[in-house]
Amino acid sequence: MSGQIINGKEIVASIRAEITEQVRELTEQGTQPGLVVIIVGEDPASQVYVRNKAKSCEQVGIYSEVHALPASTTQQELIALIHLFNKDQRIHGILVQSPLPKHINEEAVVDEIDPAKDVDCFHPVNVGNLMIGKDGMKPCTPAGVIEVLKRTGVDIAGKHAVVVGRSNIVGKPMAMLLLREHATVTVCHSRTPNMAEITRQADILVVAVGKAHLIKAEHVKPGAVVIDVGMNRPADGKLTGDVDFEAVKEVAGAITPVPGTVGPMTITMLLQNTVDSARRASQASVRV
The residues binding ligand GUN (CB under 6 A) are: 49, 95-98, 120, 140, 266
Helix (H, G, I), strand (E, B) or coil at 57: helix
120 is catalytic: yes
CA dist 268 and 155 (Å) reads: 22
Of 97, 172, 203, 244, the active-site residue reads 97
Measured from the CB of residue 203, what is the shortest distance to ligand GUN in angstroms?
27
CA dist 142 and 273 (Å) reads: 13
Helix (H, G, I), strand (E, B) or coil at 224: coil
Beta carbons of 261 and 11 less than 8 angstroms apart = yes
Of 22, 117, 118, 120, the active-site residue reads 120
97 is catalytic: yes
Tell me whether residue 167 is annotated as binding.
yes
CB-nearest residue to ligand GUN = 98
Tell me whether residue 166 is annotated as binding.
yes
Cβ closest to ligand GUN, residue 96 vs residue 214: 96
Tell me whether residue 287 is annotated as binding.
no
Cβ closest to ligand GUN, residue 143 vs residue 188: 143
Measured from the CB of residue 157, what is the shortest distance to ligand GUN in angstroms?
27
CA dist 142 and 121 (Å) reads: 11
- Of 134, 209, 146, 147, nearest to 175 (Cα)? 146
Measured from the CB of residue 13, what is the shortest distance to ligand GUN in angstroms?
21
Measured from the CB of residue 172, what is the shortest distance to ligand GUN in angstroms?
14
End-to-end Cα distance, the chain = 59
Of 53, 138, 159, 249, the active-site residue reads 53
- For the annotated binding site for NADP(+), the residues are 165-167
**Residues with catalytic roles:** 53, 97, 120
